[in-house]
Amino acid sequence: MSLVSRRISQLPPYLFSKLQKRKEALKASGVDVIDLGIGSPDLPTPAFIVEHLIKEARDECNHGYSTYQGDRVFREAVAQYYERQYNVQLDPETEILTLIGSKEGIAHLLQAVIDPGDCVLVPDPGYPVYRTGVHLAGGTVVDLPLDVTGNYVPMYDQVDQAAINQAKLMLLNYPSNPTAATVNLSTFVEAITFAEQNHLMIAHDAAYDLVTFAGYKAPSMMQVPRAKDYAVEFGSLSKGFSMTGWRIGYVVGNRTLIKALSTLKSNIDTSQFLPIQRAAAKALTSDLNDVQTHNAIYEKRMEMMHQALHNVGLKAAKPRGTIFIWSQIPEGFTSAQFADYLLEHAGVIVTPGVAFGPSGEGFVRVALTVGEERLQEVANRLHELDFERGGIS
Q: Side by side, which strands form the sheet with 351-352?
A: 324-328, 363-367, 351-352
Q: Which of 225, 255, 284 is the endpoint of a domain?
A: 284
Q: Encode pLDDT of 304-346 as tens digits.
A: 999 999 999 999 999 999 999 999 999 999 999 999 999 989 9
Q: Encode pLDDT of 105-154 as tens digits.
A: 999 999 999 999 899 999 999 999 999 999 999 999 999 999 999 999 99
Is 229 inside any structural domain?
A: yes
Is 153 inside any structural domain?
A: yes
Q: Which of 239, 267, 284 is the endpoint of a domain?
A: 284
Is 392 inside any structural domain?
A: no
pLDDT (0 to 100) of residue 384: 93
Is 50 inside any structural domain?
A: no
- 11 and 28: one domain? yes
Residue type, 54: I
Chain mean pLDDT for the chain: 94
- 243 and 322: one domain? no
Q: Report percent pLDDT > 90 for the chain.
A: 88
How does 36-47 read in b/e, with b if 16+ C-beta sit within 10 Å?
Answer: bbbbebebebbe
Find the distance separating the first CA and the last CA of the chain, reported in whole Å: 55
Is 360 inside any structural domain?
A: yes
Query: Which pTM was predicted?
Result: 0.95
Alpha-carbon dihedral sign for residues 10, 11, 13, 15: positive
- 277 and 178: one domain? yes
Between residues 261 and 17, the one the model is more confident about? 261
- 250 and 335: one domain? no
- 36 and 79: one domain? no
Distance CA 94, CA 41 (A): 32
Q: Which residues pair with 205 in a beta bridge?
A: 173, 234
- 120 and 239: one domain? yes
Structurally, the chain folds into a number of domains equal to 2
Q: Which residues pair with 331 in a beta bridge?
A: none
- Domain hosting 272: range is 64-284
pLDDT at 392 > cutoff 60: no
In this structure, what are the phi and psi dihedrals at residue 225, rounded to the nearest 5 degrees? -55, 140
- 178 and 36: one domain? no
- 258 and 302: one domain? no
pLDDT (0 to 100) of residue 255: 98
Q: Encode pLDDT of 149-200 as tens digits.
A: 999 999 999 999 999 999 999 999 999 999 999 999 999 999 999 999 999 9
- 134 and 84: one domain? yes
Is 335 inside any structural domain?
A: yes
Is 58 inside any structural domain?
A: no
- 214 and 339: one domain? no
- 87 and 149: one domain? yes
CA nearest neighbour of 389 among 311, 321, 315, 332? 332
Q: Which of 257, 284, 311 is the endpoint of a domain?
A: 284
- 237 and 335: one domain? no
CATH number reported for the structural domain that contains residue 370 in this entry? 3.90.1150.10
Is 228 inside any structural domain?
A: yes
Q: Beta-strand (E) ranges in the chain?
A: 34-35, 96-99, 119-124, 140-145, 167-173, 201-205, 231-236, 249-253, 324-328, 348-349, 351-352, 363-367, 385-386, 391-392
